[in-house]
Structure 1
């Protein structure tokens, strides 16, 4: 039986921390590229790179990537070399949540759900099969001028992080890339071990699915629950919208709590409430880089998680309150959001009652 889990985001344009930019700036410095050149046209300052709480736009990191690629055009295997620098500790609380996950499978599910806690530009989709686990790595929306670099960087970083979680070099069963065979194919093979194939229809890497069930060396259920709560809070804050999108979200979220909430409004009444035509609202949302459907999806997911955690409503009742005509449609959407069913999500939350309001957790200094 095949199972697929999509990432919790639909594109790479999400706010992110500065750790990835700091890592690339540090790598460039070792290669003789000064920080001013790396930060050119990014709007970033050296001081921001030292602020662990700083948030930046994805386009700022993309500008740093372009500066790095232009500064080191003849550096062999640049994407691979940079990707190897991303360790599980690079990702802060997100990485610590992965470390404390019970198994590699749980860590992957968590990482996909909260992918916007990381730094990727290439979006992975996980597929669990009978004899193979495949990570399809989508680069279609990545700008062409830095696409190969980012595929190499992101795939190598994913492999490195999974190896860190297992405590050993992760063996692959397949590795395929859309770009032509580069001169540094042997360097890529040092990472994949299995011989990579190029000029393929998709980017992907695959592993033996038995590895997914292997308990992680530093698994800790209590720590994992607390990290999960902190990551959820972090992502919700990062996903907060501004401008017209914030105004639409405000009208989609119930003001009296979820208990009495019955179906979010359609786009027509929302547009009327904002004193504009539906066409104008669609145009303004498009200019803001989003859509009514995307905002409705975000709100529905948040409400679904709250209803399943904090109310005794059945899955069918939750589906109705969220505006779905059938429970099966809601279950399909929920699986797309989280990789699991609403019933499984409720059982998981019931087993981790402290997740709803844990004491703040801090990594040891």
Structure 2
């Protein structure tokens, strides 16, 4: 499955443009030919094509390809928070192995152009990195970036547990290789038949400190929704849901959302009706997602959650939650978060 066919969040392009800027490039140079404007990089809901991101990488490589370990420097910027709901799913996973499995399952929600294949032995898990379907001129940068990003997330999730044993690159040894060792934590071997990383299987099986079964389930559901939206197109209901989620607990009303989408409330209502959904139904769906996340914090009282979600009283919130889940918020919290 060619990753160049998938759209992705604009977050990766922002990280890459910031890398270029830190190396002395103007934003105009970084974004040249991408069709993306500098102000677009600040839109947390922005979606771009894989080709647009590849063009930015071409610009970086053309102007700063001589910088040691440029792709590795890029990957070190991809912390788990860059992956949105997928990052939340990974940090909620029971082990590092399961976090990796989640990232592979929803690989279209990552920014990787590489294909990761897992090959296991008794003591090691080898991750083979395949970049055969990306432009040859960019393979070194993308290989470095994707491996460094994978290890950066691993360190975010479990910084006290070293996982990487050895690292083998298929491209020749660069003039300077000290940058690689500084970022990866091991001395890579270059000029190999294929690129792969040897990981400690025992370390991968260690439980993650923030594992949460309910949070993982909720995050996976959101990942599936995001993936379905990106694969099926972008209807108006998708845009409304995204803007409601972006608002967090400060849910905007229909008038504000319509203004944000440059349509009248009447037009918004009509188009949503044509898509078989109402604004109130979308707002309830988002409220349920937010409520489930807030209930994970046992320090928050139900009345506080109700207030945060815009309900006039705790009773109104409890009634709505019972309608959604068939139980009260406290029963839900005690049953699934014990």
Does 2:52 match 1:123?
A: no
Could you tell me how far 1:128 is from its partner in structure 2?
A: 2.9
1:145 maps to: 137
1:32 to partner: Cα distance? 2.0
Alignment deviations for residues 294-346 of structure 1 (CA, whole Å, 9 cap, x no partner): xxxxxxxxxxxxxxxxxxxxxxxxxxxxxxxxxxxxxxxxxxxxxxxxxxxxx
Partner of 2:211: 219
Q: Residue 6 of structure 2 aligns with which residue?
A: 14
Deviation, structure 1 residue 64:
0.5
Asked if 1:232 is matched to 2:224, the reply is yes
CA RMSD for the aligned pairs?
Answer: 2.4
CA deviation string 1:119-161 (max 9, x = no partner): 0111111223222111111011121111111111111111111
How far 1:163 sits from its partner (Å)? Answer: 1.4
In 2, the alpha carbon distance for the partners of 1:229 and 1:241 equals 18
Partner Cα separation in structure 1 for residue 205 and residue 69 of structure 2: 32
Partner Cα distance (1:102, 1:171) in 2: 16
Deviation at 1:167, TM superposition (A): 2.3
Q: In the alignment, which of 53, 68, 71 is matched to residue 60 of structure 2?
A: 68
Kindly indicate whether residue 289 of structure 2 is the aligned counterpart of residue 360 of structure 1. Answer: yes
Contact 2:68–2:177 (CA under 8 A) maintained in structure 1: no
Q: Are 1:34 and 2:26 counterparts?
A: yes
Q: Quote the residue 1:93 is aligned against.
A: 85
> Unpaired segments of 5 or more residues in structure 2?
235-285, 295-307, 309-338
Matched, 1:82 2:11: no
Deviation at 1:50, TM superposition (A): 1.1
**Do 1:17 and 1:54's aligned partners in 2 also have CA atoms closer than 8 Å?**
yes
Task: Determine if the alignment matches structure 1 residue 154 to structure 2 residue 146.
Answer: yes
Q: How many residues align?
A: 244
Question: What are the superposed Cα offsets for residues 343-364 of structure 1, whole Å, 9 maximum, x if unpaired?
Answer: xxxxxxxxxxxxxx99324989
Distance 1:192 1:27, change over 3 A: closer
Check conservation: 1:101, 1:219, Cα contact below 8 A: yes
Residue 206 (structure 1) aligned to one of 181, 198, 204: 198
Q: Which residue of 1 aligns with 2:94?
A: 102
Q: TM-score, normalised by structure 2?
A: 0.68
Any idea what SS the aligned residue of 2:174 has? coil
Structure 1 residues 154-212: Cα deviation after superposition (integer angstroms, max 9, x where no partner): 11111111111112363422211110111232221223333321111111001110112
Which residue of the partner structure matches residue 133 of structure 1?
125
Partner secondary structure for residue 198 of structure 2: strand
Q: Do structure 1's residue 170 and structure 2's residue 162 form an aligned pair?
A: yes
Instruction: Considering Cα pairs closer than 8 Å and 6+ residues apart, tell me whether 1 or 2 has the greater RCO.
Output: 1
What is the distance in 2 between the residues matched to 1:20 and 1:51? 12
CA distance in 2, matches of 1:26, 1:169: 29
Is the Cα–Cα contact under 8 Å of residues 16 and 74 in structure 2 kept in the other structure?
yes
Please state whether the residue corresponding to 2:196 is helix, strand or coil: strand
Return the alpha-carbon distance in structure 1 between the equivalents of residues 143 and 191 of structure 2. Answer: 13
Please point out which of 36, 43, 54 is paired with 1:51. 43
- Cα displacement (A) at 1:241: 6.0
Q: Is the 8 A contact 1:18 1:56 kept in 2?
A: yes
Paired residue secondary structure (2:129) = strand
